[in-house]
Every structure is written in C-alpha cells, then in structure tokens.
Amino acid sequence: VTDPLRVALVGAGRAGLVHGRNLAAGVPGARLVAVADPVPEARQRAAAELGCRLTLADPLTAATDDGVDAVVIASPTFTHAAVAVAALQAGKHILCEKPLASTLDEARRVQAAADGSGGALVMGFMRRFDAGFARAAERIRAGDIGDPVFVRSTGRGPGLPPEWAHDPQRSAGLIAEVNSHDLDTVRWLSSREFQTVYAVGRAAKRPDLAARYPGFVDLVAVTCELSDGGLAQVDGACPAGYGYDARVEVYGTEGVVMAGDALAGSALLVRADGAVTDPVRSWRELFADAYRAEDAHLVRVARGEEEPRAGVADGVAALEAALAVNRSLRDGRPVRVAGEPG
C-alpha cells in the first residue's frame, strides 16, 4: 500500500457521493484518484465536484488499475459482486456499501475472492462507527445488561430509493436496501446468529410499485429466532416521509440499552402556538460522522493496523437473513436462515 492510499470510487450516486465528499474533504492517509460510473453525467459531475481528474466509464478498470490501492463500491447492489471479485483478485482493499450483493451466490463468490486475496473487505455497516451505537455495544460487551437476549431494531428511510432498488431481484428488497443495517445490528449487538425468520410485509403506501415489481413492500415486520435462545424483531419502512429513523433497543437479563434517536441533532422550539423539533431528514446527516469514521477505518485496515470492523462474513450473514426474510414474505411461513439456497 502506498502512502497515501489511492482510492477509486465506483458508483457516484447517493451513497458514492457521501464517501467521495469525505475523501475530497480529506480522510487522513487517503487520496481519491478515480471516479468510475457508466453514466457520463454522473461521473463528470462527481469528478468536477470532488476535484478528481481521472474518470472511468468501466468500473472494472477502476477495480483493477495499478494506480489504485482501494475501491469504494457504491454502485447499485446487483453490480457489487463483479466489481468486488475483480478488485479482490487484483489485491485491492474494498469498502463495500451494503448489502454485499443481491444474491447469495454472488455474495459467496465475493467471500471466496476475499479469502484468496491480499486485499481486505470492509462492509459499509456505518452504525458500527456511530458513537451512540458503539457505546451500546461497549456496554453490552462489558456485561452491563447481562445476557442480551432480545434485540428490537427499527430502520425507516424518508424517501424512495432510486428505481433499480424497487425491484427485489436487483436490490434484495426493502429488507436489504433499508434494513441491512438492522440485520447487522442484531448480530453485532447480540453476538448471535439468525436461525429462523418470520416476516410479514405490505405495500402500504405504494401498491402501484408492488404491481410493477413483484415482491415490493414498503413496510415489513420480522420476528427472528437467534442462536443461543436469542430473539429479535426488525421492522422497516420506506418511504416513511417524516425522516430517517434508526433506533435499537437491546433487552438483557439485567437491563436494557437503547441507541438511536428520532430527534438526534434537533432542538426543542416552544412558542405560544405549540412546540416543535426538527426531524432527522437523511441518513447522510444522521450518520455523517460514522461515514467519515468508516472511510478512515478503510485506510487503517489497508495498512494492516486494524481488522475490518464489519467484514465479508458479516456481509454474507446479513444478506442470508435478508433473503430468508424475502422467502418468508413470499411463502407466508417461518424460514430457516442458515444453509438455504439464495
């Protein structure tokens, strides 16, 4: 690894620009050297804003270029695996946005490539870098709530994601697009694995999208059995309209710990006609510090100073759970998570 770490951004859309702007503003030890996006306007706009001279139409070129040490993969979910496998085979380090892939076959191919690579893969589970969520994890590890036997995790997005994400074949559905973070939170904070999931879902706000994209839901509720007798509930909604909402509660044998706040960063305004606070408008705002910390972590992982805080196995496990949720939605029954075909 050269100093600074030469980073290529693959996918210059919503998530890509969060990482691109962080890199352009300065992530210690990293330099943005290329932006790859097959859509000319997207890559040119991003390159101009980010002050990056090299733009590439082909993400695989960026993933394998000799002048690149690390790749941030922020392209649509169904394109992650091809880029990740090529980059890992070329020995690059990766920060991969969630979910790892759209099918389990793809995810396992990425895992195999990671196993045989000198490059490391960091999963973009940014809650692991959020001060409040990390404090909850620390409390749980310290034994402050005893055995964490139940996790309840809520994830809601304010507006619809881009159109490709409406199609569960390409995005792995609402549960992967919005609630990958919740699935990871359950495993992370409980130190348990998913065993069975039972999901119900509705296209409560956008039945028109369910008619166009089979399997589309905008509201989902999942009850989960975890290893070692643990339980969890995950619920998701998008578009929620009112803002971005990420909250978790971990109930233990000796207490409860809560993280995430629908009023984060707001102030209470009181006037004669009523009282108001500001909603959290976006994941970009709520987790701004966490995305910066995640980008800085990639540098330390590439230098061998840290192990990925969330790695490829965590990406596979969250996707396995997400795909089991989709099967449960389809079949209307509880589904075993481990070892079933994707």
Ligand X SMILES: NC(=O)c1ccc[n+]([C@@H]2O[C@H](COP(=O)([O-])OP(=O)(O)OC[C@H]3O[C@@H](n4cnc5c(N)ncnc54)[C@H](O)[C@@H]3O)[C@@H](O)[C@H]2O)c1
Contact residues toward ligand X (CB under 6 A) are: 10-16, 36-39, 42, 59, 74-77, 79, 97-98, 124, 126, 161-162, 177, 283
User: Which tokens sit at 174?
Assistant: 């609402």
Select 122 or 329, whichever has its Cβ closest to ligand X.
122
Q: Which residue is nearest to ligand X (CB)?
A: 13
Minimum distance, C-beta of residue 75 to ligand X, in the bound complex (Å): 3
Minimum distance, C-beta of residue 273 to ligand X, in the bound complex (Å): 36
Minimum distance, C-beta of residue 12 to ligand X, in the bound complex (Å): 5
Q: Count of H helices and E strands in the chain?
A: 13, 15
Minimum distance, C-beta of residue 254 to ligand X, in the bound complex (Å): 32
Select 129 or 150, whichever has its Cβ closest to ligand X.
129
Bridge partners (DSSP) of residue 274 are 271
User: How far apart, in Å, are the Cα atoms of 60 and each of 36, 66, 86, 303?
Assistant: 9, 12, 7, 23
Minimum distance, C-beta of residue 58 to ligand X, in the bound complex (Å): 8
User: How far apart, in Å, are the Cα atoms of 169 and each of 147, 166, 174, 255, 330?
Assistant: 37, 9, 11, 40, 13
| Of the candidates 234, 252, 286, 230, the residue with the CA atom closest to the CA atom of residue 139 | 252
Residue pointed to by tokens 């620009």 = 17
Minimum distance, C-beta of residue 160 to ligand X, in the bound complex (Å): 10
Contact 5, 60 (CB under 8 A): no
Select 191 or 282, whichever has its Cβ closest to ligand X.
282
Residue 285 identity (one-letter amino acid): E
Residues 6+ apart with CB under 8 A from 46: 9, 12, 16, 17, 20, 35, 37, 52
Minimum distance, C-beta of residue 8 to ligand X, in the bound complex (Å): 11
Select 194 or 287, whichever has its Cβ closest to ligand X.
287
Select 69 or 295, whichever has its Cβ closest to ligand X.
295
Select 75 or 195, whichever has its Cβ closest to ligand X.
75
Residues 6+ apart with CB under 8 A from 59: 10, 11, 36, 37, 38, 75, 79, 82, 83
Select 15 or 224, whichever has its Cβ closest to ligand X.
15
